[in-house]
Structure 1
Amino acid sequence: MKLKEFNKILNNSAKFNISNRSEEISLDNYVFQHNYKRKNTLKTFALTLSSIILVLMFSFYLYYNSTPYVVLTIDINPSIEVKLNRFNRVIEVSSLNDDALNFISDIDAKRMPLNDFLDLIYEKGLEENYFTDTKANALIGIYGSTFSSENKVLSLINESSKINSLSILYHSENQESMFNIDSGENDESVLSSIIDYYNNKSSEIVSSEYGGDYVLEVPNTRDSIEFSTLPVTEEEFIDLANDLDISITKLNIVRFIFENSTDYTTISDFIELANSDISDLIELYSTLE
């Protein structure tokens, strides 16, 4: 554009000589309104807290569902160990002797309620001729952290009418353990002597059989034994049960019968009791209780 032409556009005050055809400028096409909603922080916090609680509850459920809460030993001559969760459902079944290996080989009891599991044991016992329609005896040991937890399981066991069970709790009402052996010096010493026998392996196994197991040749009278005065610890008690190939519940019943019956006075008698049939032991226990 030439300078002369440009000067024609400007007036004397240096303003453009262009008429303003619009009295006002509309901003409708240029101004936009945005509506922002205020976030509800309380609702967000509540949802977050609820999610955390649900995750924690699910975690606790998984923990309690898979963690042993009470352990049972069930002796019907095969001896088995059953671990229950807090909801009294089976989470594991294991054998305590060779007979039990075959007995539980085809049992799938995972997550099974206790009563249903006992019914299964009853049916299996009939099938394997450990039970009859008129005689189904079992020795059951209940091992929990408190007397209350054991007593709840005992109530469930008593509801099972098919098996006649003698149930022994690990704790008494005053929370005393069954391993707090309160017996005479000789009785403690017999246990100690039997433990010493298995530790030293000083006696020979003879070929005569009793109840399917070998009878151990040991001294025949208490007078011929040099008794120890040391108390029997829980660990020694459990080790002795393992040596005798029986459950600690059965060993505790054997100990009770040995202490309270005058018919059993020697270590040979003690081991004979340990090899006895469960039904015979329950009958002996019932007459002495």
Structure 2
Amino acid sequence: MVAVDGGGAGARLSRAVDTYLDHLTVERALAVNTLASYRRDLDRYVEWLVAAGVSDLSDVTTRDIAAHVADLRAPAGDASPLSASSAARAASAVRGLHRFALLEGLAPSDPSREVKPPSLPKRLPKALDVDQVARLLAVPAQAAAGPLELRDAALLEFLYGTGARISEAVGIAVDDLDLDARPGMVVLHGKGGKTRLVPMGSYARTTLDAYLVRGRPSLAANGTGSPNVFLNARGGPLSRQSAWTILRKAADRAGLPVDGPSGVSPHTLRHSFATHLLDGGADIRVVQELLGHASVTTTQVYTLVTVDRLREIYATAHPRAR
């Protein structure tokens, strides 16, 4: 929090920030880390306004906000510039503050409406090729087939076989599965409380069936009756962090990178799922539905991956490509 005395130049600004963050805490129930980031961003904003001679949100202009956003990426003096993603988050926090101030009558207008946040560089999703996925999914099968190894095999096959987010995978209950259908089906509970029905192939269905019959009962016996499909060693629901650890360990054993920009992440199998479907000729609208994207625009980033793949194939296969 910005250190100001009760009558200091930034006192009213700081009180407005506190009120806004209290609103986010109570009404929006944002995560602690998100609130901490917003606090840092808005404290920085208050300091910038005070230095610019602005002491009340009512006096802030669109030009002030635009100048502050620009300074986030190219600050004066010895301050370090923020990354594009951090600057975009900070700009979002400032815009949220001004929207809140207008709605609560703390300011007569919202000068942030005309200020665009910094554009983020378009990053292509990281995707494994089919052989790399096969190596990754084979890792749990190479170990002794105990309850945990059966669980890990089922989890990895499920992630790749359905394109589920890792939070969706650890959140499914036994009643969400229909392994008798051909192909198997699962109800995934996505963002915003939205659900979708997603098919899964024979590999995911077979490994899940083996885990449910020979692995999960042993783990469930240690707990108190959790309905979740994927359980930890104590019989409770597997956490996202634990699922990520399972994926990283399997990737490391498969000889795949686990650190840096190309490292295997929780979204890697989801990205690979989408890319391989499009490479195989799937319609982008179908992939959109399977991924649970609200807009096809979000899904279209995967088409850039497949275009690069087409270029690669053309360059190596066509006799007059070079």
Q: What TM-score do the two structures reach when normalised by structure 2?
A: 0.25
Normalised by the length of structure 1, the TM-score is 0.27
Q: In proportion to residue count, which structure has more helix?
A: 2
| Greater Cα radius of gyration, structure 1 or 2 | 1
